[in-house]
Each structure stands twice: as C-alpha cells, then as structure tokens.
Structure 1
Amino acid sequence: MAVYVLTVFDGTGKVLVDERFDAKDDAEAKKLGESKIAELKYETYSSRVTKSSGGLVLFHQ
C-alpha cells in the first residue's frame, strides 16, 4: 500500500480538501480520488491526486 493525497482548490487557490488515503496502486488511487471528488460535489474545481513519492496520479483543472 502507498500513501496518496487528494487536494482540491477553489478558483482563488484556497485549499478545500487535503486528504491522505492508502491505495494498492495508482489505478486504485485514481478511482478513489475521483469517487471522493464526486461525493463532495467538487467536480468543477481544480484537483489532484499525488503519491507520497512525488508522482502525479490525477489532475483536473
């Protein structure tokens, strides 16, 4: 398992979500990140999922 971080920003750059979670791989982390964004109704905001090693898994602007 690896540690991933979901971050969601509003239009001014204010952080709305900064949440850490575990996933077995990048594909699972992407799915979990997209699900959480949809659950919070933040699909229209800029967001990203990164892994603890520094890689970018998901980016939406």
Structure 2
Amino acid sequence: MKTYALTVFAQTGEKLLDESFTANNDDEAKEIGKARLEDEGYSEHTHRCVTADAKLILFHR
C-alpha cells in the first residue's frame, strides 16, 4: 500500500482539507480522492492529490 496526500484550498489560499490515505496504486488513489472530494463538497475547489514522492495524480484549479 502507498500513502497519498489530498489537499483542498480556498481561493484565499487557506487549506480546507489536508489529509492522507492509503491505496494499492495511483488509479485507486485517484478514485478514493475523487470520492472524498465529492463527499465533502470540494470537487470544484482547487485541490491536489500526490504520492509520498510528490507525483501529482489529481489536480483541479
């Protein structure tokens, strides 16, 4: 399992969500990240999901 970080930002730059989770691979992490964003109502906010070695797998601006 790999660790991923999901971060959501307000337009002011304030972090609205900053959490980590584990997944088997990047594709699974992308789906978990998308689901978490939907659950919290942040899918249209600026967000990113990165691997532990800083590979960007999900981004929205």
Superposition TM-score tier, normalisation by shorter sequence: over 0.9
Cα distance, 1:54 vs. partner? 1.2
Q: Which runs of 4+ in 1 moved over 3 A?
A: none
Instruction: Work out the CA distance in 2 between the residues paired with 1:44 and 1:56.
Output: 18
The equivalent of 1:57 in structure 2 is 57
Unaligned 5+ residue runs, structure 1? none
2:5 match: secondary structure? strand
Encode CA deviations 1:11-34: one digit per residue, 9 max, x unaligned: 011000001000000000000000
How many residues are aligned here?
A: 61
Cα distance, 1:43 vs. partner? 1.5
Q: TM-score, normalised by structure 1?
A: 0.97
1:48 counterpart = 2:48: yes
Q: TM-score, normalised by structure 2?
A: 0.97
Encode CA deviations 1:28-51: one digit per residue, 9 max, x unaligned: 000000000000001120000000
1:12 match: secondary structure? coil
Unaligned 5+ residue runs, structure 2? none
